[in-house]
Amino acid sequence: MTSTAKPVPTIAIEGLTGCAGELLVILENMEKLIPFVRIKRFSFAQSDNQSGPVDISFVEGSVSQPHDLEKLIKIRANSRWLVAVGNCAVWGCVQKAACARCSVNEMLGAVYGADSEIAVMPATPLHDHVKVDVELSGCPINPTQFLAVAASVLKDHLPYITHKPVCLECKLNENPCVLIEKNLPCLGPVTAAGCGALCPSAGAACYGCWGPCESPQMDAMATILSEKGYSMDDVLMRLKSFGAPTHLFERLDPLLAKN
């Protein structure tokens, strides 16, 4: 009699250039996944790693060095599903924002000296280079969202990931609004939900670490913060610090001209 049991899905957890925050979140929650998968590669956490194709690759980090790009292209070729995890992988995060302010070679020289031979490139998110099937942002990712995404992809379903603004979660938590009541520069209106409005729930302003929400009104956000007395330089630095794409700021030009 032939067995009809489906093979156990294989996964890989891979890191490019990043702080490894996503890898830690995945590691902390791995016991919930282990009954349903076989981990073929997770070099951050295990020494017995195998090459070859997998059903799902979860990839953290941005493409910031040529070997990141080579690794990413191999990962894509070996994965049925490629899931970008964390702000670095989805938006490019703080390193992408830094690369927009000065050249990577200037930064390299300042940190490692002018004669450094380390190969670097401007930091970019994964979707600039390969097809990405699912993007799960966060800095770091939310464990509940990660497990929900993993459960969907394991069943070959595209997961639902909210891109509503943080304000929605903030209101569900019945928080007082720190933007209105304390004049803090809260970016909740233009930032994607997923963290449970962590910062406003503690009385602090959201600084946008989840990346932009759907259809973020950057110009309206900048106008509000400018009217509250924040300088346009500070506002733009804050709005761009987690790698939001430049096209979201196109409508800001007239505002910039005024400042």
Would you tell me which residues interact with ligand SF4 (CB under 6 A)? 166-167, 170-171, 175, 177-179, 186, 188-189, 191, 195, 197-200, 206-210
Q: What is the DSSP letter of 7?
A: P
Q: Which amino acid is at 239?
A: L
Q: Quick one: which H or E segment has residue 146? A: helix 143-154
Nearer to ligand SF4, 21 or 208 (CB): 208
Minimum distance from residue 28 beta carbon to ligand SF4 (Å): 17
Minimum distance from residue 100 beta carbon to ligand SF4 (Å): 20
Question: Cβ distance 138 to 145 under 8 Å?
Answer: yes
Residue nearest to ligand SF4 (CB): 188
Nearer to ligand SF4, 99 or 225 (CB): 225
Sheet containing 10-15: give its strands across. Answer: 38-41, 10-15, 54-60, 79-85, 134-136
Comparing CA positions, the residue from 255, 193, 197 lying closest to residue 230 is 255
Minimum distance from residue 217 beta carbon to ligand SF4 (Å): 12
Q: Which residues pair with 59 in a beta bridge?
A: 14, 84
Please report, to the nearest 10 degrees, the dihedral formed by the alpha carbons of residues 31, 37, 41, 47 taken in order.
Answer: 50
Nearer to ligand SF4, 125 or 138 (CB): 138
Nearer to ligand SF4, 9 or 208 (CB): 208
Minimum distance from residue 191 beta carbon to ligand SF4 (Å): 5
